Amino acid sequence: MMSYVFPSEEWVAAFKEQINASEEYQQSAADWEAGDVCFRVQANPDIGLSEDGYIWLDLYHGQCRDAQLVDAEKGESARFVITATYDRWKQLITGQLDPVTAMMMGQMKVKGNLGELIRYTRAAKELIACAGRVPTRFLGGEG
């Protein structure tokens, strides 16, 4: 089975497919009109990620209309920017860390209206679960 390097264009395309295949996401985010979301992966030169990676998602009514790896300018302009270290994203994607807990404990920084996001905790958890369904190769050696 193909696996995709996180973060990469191929990984983002597979992530979009998983989101749009998820009934749980469609239901839990059915009335989402709060805007676009960007996952910011902080640079880690030790593993070969020389600059921050921005995974931009155009989310609307339980669908992912578009998903791209974008530059910092586009990424930072998203309505919500969720930032974490590479290792933290890896923990989230592999299911070792709950996204809501991580946000509450400040292990992920959220730029945007946190109150609005909190209303969609089910959707947030499912987004991360969708990421976990992408066959992923992580930088820095371990699969």
Q: For residue 51, what are the CA distances in angstroms to 20, 95, 116?
A: 28, 25, 29
Q: What is the pLDDT of residues 103-138, one digit of tens each?
A: 889 999 999 998 888 899 999 999 999 999 999 999
E strands present in 32-135? 37-41, 53-60, 63-70, 80-84, 109-111
- Per domain, the residue ranges of the chain are 4-134
Alpha carbon 30 to its chain centroid, in Å, reads 18
Q: Is the pLDDT of residue 7 over 50?
A: yes
Q: What is the pLDDT of residues 16-72, one digit of tens each?
A: 999 999 999 999 999 999 999 999 999 999 999 999 999 999 999 999 999 999 999
Q: Is the pLDDT of residue 142 over 70?
A: no
State in words which class domain 4-134 has. alpha beta
